[in-house]
Structure formats: C-alpha cells, structure tokens
Amino acid sequence: MKTLIIAEAGVNHNGDISLARQLIDVAADVGADLVKFQTFTADKLLT
C-alpha cells in the first residue's frame, strides 16, 4: 500500500476559489497527493 502525502490548506484560501486552486498547484508541485481544505465562517462559531 502506498503512503499518501496530504497537504493541509485549512482555511488559508479565505473563501477565494482562485487562491484555493493556487494552493492545490503548490501542493502538487511539492509532491502532495491530496489537499485538505476547511470552510467555515467565524460568525457561525460564536453566538
């Protein structure tokens, strides 16, 4: 079984799909197999 390298992008795309795609490209350039993103807004975390 091959070990996969996962790049953690988190919320660093700031909701910008263009920036998210750039993060994917960079992750691929350095050899990552997958990229993990998170999406949330701060107002939904606090009440």
pTM to 2 decimal places: 0.74
The label of the residue with tokens 């795309």 reads: 13
Domain annotation covers residue 1: no
CB count in 10 Å sphere of residue 46: 5
Beta bridge partners of 37: 10
C-alpha distance across the termini of the chain, in Å = 45
Domain annotation covers residue 26: yes
Q: How do residues 1-47 score in pLDDT, each as one tens digit? A: 999 999 999 887 878 899 999 999 999 999 999 999 988 777 777 66
Helix H segments across 1-47?
Answer: 17-29
Q: How many domains does the chain have?
A: 1
Q: Which domain holds residue 31?
A: 6-44
Domain annotation covers residue 15: yes
Domain annotation covers residue 16: yes
Beta bridge partners of 19: none
d(CA 5, CA 40): 24
The label of the residue with tokens 């993103």 reads: 37
